[in-house]
Amino acid sequence: MTFVGLAVAFLGFMIAFSSLGLAESTGARMGLVLAGIMVTLVGIMGVIVPAYQKTWIWKR
């Protein structure tokens, strides 16, 4: 799951970055960048953190 989380987090960056080519207006770019940030946060906090918590010492 760690690698899935990393892929989701990186996907968020790619969404934000691609707004430079996909959109012309500032509003559309802002929407895409915010969406990218949300996807990244889901990848980090929603996937990577729970995956790692399973291995931590107080869970064993």
Instruction: Give the binding site for other proteins (CB under 8 A).
Output: 2, 6, 9-14, 16-17, 19-21, 26-27, 29-30, 33-34, 36-37, 39-41, 43-45, 48-49, 52-53, 55-59
CA 58, 47, 11, 23 torsion: positive or negative?
Answer: negative
CB of 46 to other proteins, least distance (A): 11
| DSSP letter (8 states) at residue 25 | S
17 vs 20: CA distance, rounded Å: 6
CB of 52 to other proteins, least distance (A): 5
Q: Are 6 and 56 in contact (CB under 8 A)?
A: no
In the complex, minimum distance from the CB of residue 29 to other proteins, in angstroms, rounded to a whole number: 5
